[in-house]
A and B are shown apart, each in its own frame.
With several copies, the nearest count.
Chain A
């Protein structure tokens, strides 16, 4: 144990770098995923088959084949065709594509649960499509989708552990190296586990704050008690529920 602590201490500086890589992947992937989710989520709702078809194919493909296989292709096979990206970029792109596809279902489901009457009111006021979505529909769907996006974000964080597979040195890699150096599986993993837990906790915390804000915008604010903010219950909006696109 004391040996372990010594090695652990000597490796703490590199943990900083590892956390940075994990955060870069998670946040980069999340931003890309969110952009894709919006694009595909609305794309999958359009009436035009020319938009809806490709959106659905994209969603099904990237949800259906698994993240590792996608990472493998982007990192190890595409270069054979002369298409080569930095490892970090590959990680972000792969996470973004995969979770973007899951997220698209969340977006689609949440937008679908905004009452049709809200769309009708926007038509009656003669708003343009983009205006409707930006000012009326999305702000309402947003409050519904955050809890499910939080789940996805946690899964994305955990998915970023595949970084080692593409030569990146993230928290998972750091844990593996610690384990190799100390031969202490349980202690090493506990260290890694706590790091992931803390990151996940902070992310959830941030997302809960976002949700609170979104709800308050809708006049449904629950005036967050300290426990609401600190607690991690991803208060799933009931209408959003039930997996209409519950991702993951």
Chain B
């Protein structure tokens, strides 16, 4: 219901959801959701468990298929389009062109255990973007430097701690030079002390690049520091939308107040 087709900056939004519907069986998770994210925006999604936050990111990564509506990246239809009045899937071939603009970091890192740290990072740049291997390695080393993992370059991924794995996963996503970076609770599988570490890396990326970021997190402190917009979800709908300061200090909606109370304790 409460739809939010906001963004001021003008120009084509980086991400746009138009009437997106997603069902799992009878369970309607997203019901005609509308929202958009402008280029360079850092948007945090918050909301209770099961409200559909992860689903939004997964739709953007084509890990799930929508049941209706349009998802546009830079104005280009991505997963489906309307041909006349028929809603049709866009073939994988065309999707792949658009998908290059989107990167994702997972809660469980999902590194490839059969490759070393370096191999994890250069695999896609070499084989998907067609970079020369030497160039990919150079870029990977630069990224490893940035996330503080240079000395683990040739380790197998399961020799790393969770925090280290997550830092490599971030480097791997960045190696594809995405315009949009999706982050789903990237710290919640980590030890509390290490969380700060990974968040530091992300904060630096947010400060030094102009990548559009869409992130789901329970670290309200982090959301506050990094994002310029917070969307509160409940039952697949945007309940409230504000800049972080306002959202965390003066939530308007009752559901938001309740939620923040439970999470912030």
| Interface residue ranges, A against B (CB under 8 Å) | 115, 117-118, 120-121, 123-129, 131, 135-136, 139-140, 217-220
Contact = CB atoms under 8 A, between A and B. Distances in A.
Which 8 residue pairs spanning A and B have beta carbons closest together? A219-B156, A125-B124, A121-B110, A139-B114, A124-B104, A219-B158, A126-B99, A117-B110
B4 interface: no
Nearest to B123: A135
B263 interface: no
A218 B63 contact: no
Interface centre among A118, A126, A217 (most CB of B within 10 A): A126
Which secondary structure dominates where chain A touches chain B?
A: helix
B128 A127 contact: yes
A118 B157 CA distance: 13
Interface in B106-139: 106, 108, 110-114, 123-124, 127-128
A136 B62 CA distance: 19
A120 B108 CA distance: 11
Given A120-B61, A121-B110, A126-B99, 14 more contacts: A115-B110, A117-B108, A117-B110, A118-B110, A120-B63, A120-B110, A121-B106, A124-B61, A124-B104, A125-B128, A135-B127, A219-B113, A219-B157, A220-B158
Interface residues of B, number: 28
A218 B124 CA distance: 19
Interface in B39-87: 61-63
Given A126-B128, A127-B127, A140-B114, A120 B106 contact: yes
A125 B123 contact: yes
Contacts of B173: 124-125
A117 B113 CA distance: 12
Contacts of A136: 112, 114, 123
Contacts of A140: 112-114
Nearest to A221: B156
Contacts of A131: 127-128
Nearest to A117: B110
B163 interface: no
B144 to A, nearest CB: 17
A120 B128 CA distance: 15
A127 B176 CA distance: 11
Contact of B172 (A115, A120, A125, A219): A125
A125 B176 contact: yes
Contacts of A217: 114
B159 interface: yes
A144 B175 CA distance: 30
Contact of B106 (A117, A127, A128): A117
B100 interface: yes
B203 interface: no
B156 to A, nearest CB: 3
Interface centre among A123, A129, A139, A140 (most CB of B within 10 A): A123
A124 B156 contact: no
B96 interface: yes
A192 B158 CA distance: 46
B244 interface: no
A170 B115 CA distance: 43
B112 A121 contact: yes
Contacts of B103: 124-125
Contacts of B123: 125, 127, 135-136
B15 to A, nearest CB: 15
A127 B172 CA distance: 13
Nearest to B92: A129
A118 B114 CA distance: 11
Given A135-B123, A140-B113, A123 B172 contact: no
